[in-house]
Amino acid sequence: MDPVTIDTTKIRMTKRKPETALEKLEDTNLINTLLAAKDREGFILLTTIDQAMNWGRLSSLWPVTSGLACCAIEMMAVSMAHHDIARFGMEVFRASPRQADLMFVAGTVTKRMAPRVKQLYEMMSEPKWVISVGSCANTGGPYHESYCVLKGVDNIIPVDVYIPGCPPRPEAWLYGIIQLREKIKNEGYGAKWGLNK
C-alpha cells in the first residue's frame, strides 16, 4: 500500500472553550489526528494501533485457574484435545491472577468464597474480562434458595459474558469465548467512532 501522510491543513481546529468530555478530548491533538484518519478511510497508524491492540488482546487471552465447582471439570474438558481452547490462544491457564486477563467464574460462588473471588478479580491487572459460566455463577441456579450461595456473581464483580447451562457444554463455552472476542474487538475509541471497520 502507498505511504500516507497527514495533510495538517485539513485538521479542524476547535475555537471555543471545551465543555463536554467529548469536546475536551477533541481539544487534544490525538483526537484531531483520529478525525483526520476518519477522512482518509483508515491507513493511518493510530487507528491500526487500536485495532492491533484489540487484536493482540483477543488473540491471547490468558485465563486464571479458578475452578470452583462442576463447571471447572468442563473447563478442563474445553482445554483438552477434543475441544481444544488453544485454537483461541487461551491454553495458558495461569495460576497467578497477576499474569491473567480473563477469569472464568466456573461454578457456584458460595458466600464463603465470594470475597476470595472478588479479591482474585481485584488482583488481576487491567485490562481484564470476566466470563460467568453456568447457572450457579449467573443467578445461583439450582442453589438459588440456598442459605449460603451468592445469587449471581455479578453481585460482586462486573461480568462481560454469561454462558448458561448446568454445566454448559464445551461448545457453549467456545461460543461464549467467541462472543467475548467480538466484544474486545469493538473496544477503544476507534471502535466508538466507527474507525475499526
Partner 1 sequence: MNSAEELKYLLPNSVVSVGVQTNKPQAVIRKEDFLKVAEKVKELGYDNLSVITGVDRVDRIEVIYNLFSYKKKQNLALKVVLDHRSPEVDSVTSIWKVADWLERETYDLVGVKFNGHPDLKRILLPEGWIGHPLRKDYDMNTEQFVTIGEDGEDIVSPDGSNLLRRK
Partner 2 sequence: METETLLLNMGPVHPSTHGVLRFKLRMDGEIIRDCQIVVGYLHRGTEKFGEMKTYLQFIPYTDRLDYIAAMPNNYAYVKAVEELAGIEVPQRAEYIRVLVMELNRVINHLVFMGSLLLDLGASTMIMYGFRERENALQLYESLCGARMTFNYIRPGGVREDLPDGFIPKLNEFIKDMEKRIVDYEELVNGNEIFLMRMKNIGVINAEEAINYGMTGPSMRGSGVDHDIRKLEPYSIYQDLDFKACMRREGDSYARYLVRVDEIRESLHILKQIVDKLPKGNTINQRYGFAPNTGAPSAVTSYFPRIFTPAEGEVYSRIEAPKGELGFFVASDGTTKPYRVKIRSPSFCNLVALPKMVLGLKIPDLIAAFGTIDIVLGDVDR
**Least gap, CB of 105 to partner 1 (angstroms):** 14
Q: Quote the CA–CA distance of 33 and 45 in Å, as a whole number.
A: 10
Q: Is 74 in the site for partner 2 (CB under 8 A)?
A: yes
Q: Which does 155 bind (CB under 5 to 8 A by kind): partner 2, partner 1, none?
A: partner 1
Compose the 162-191 pattern: x for residues touching partner 2 by CB under 8 A, - for all others: ----xx-x----------------------
Task: Determine contact, residues 63/120, Cβ cutoff 8 Å.
Answer: no
Report whether the peptide linkage leading into residue 167 is cis, meaning its omega lies within 30 degrees of zero.
Answer: yes
- Provide the grid cell at 31: 483526537
Q: Give the nearer residue to partner 1 in terms of CB position, either 10 or 111.
A: 111
Question: Please, what is the minimum distance in Å from the beta carbon of residue 54 to partner 2?
Answer: 29
Q: Which region among 36-44, 75-83, 145-153, 168-176 touches partner 1 (by CB under 8 A)?
A: 145-153
Please list the helix, strand and coil fractions of the chain in percent, rounded to the nearest 5, in that order. 50, 10, 40
Please, which residue, 114 or 191, has the CB nearer to partner 1? 114
The grid cell for 190 is 476507534
Interaction between residue 61 and partner 2 (CB under 8 A): no
Binding of partner 2 at residue 98 (CB under 8 A)? Answer: no
DSSP state for residue 14 in the 8-state scheme: P
b/e per residue, 172-190, with b = 16+ CB within 10 A? bbbebbeebbeebeebbeb
Tell me the residue length of the chain. 197
Element (H, E) at 123: helix 114-123
Q: Which of 76, 87, 125, 186: binder of partner 2 (CB under 8 A)?
A: 76
Residues 102-121 that bind partner 2 (CB under 8 A): 107-108, 110, 112-113, 116, 120
- At 69, the amino acid letter reads A
8 Å CB contact between 168 and 134 = yes
Binding-site ranges for partner 2 (CB under 8 A): 65-70, 72-74, 76-77, 80-82, 93, 95, 107-108, 110, 112-113, 116, 120, 142-143, 145-149, 166-167, 169
Binding-site ranges for partner 1 (CB under 8 A): 111-112, 114-116, 118-119, 145, 147-148, 154-158
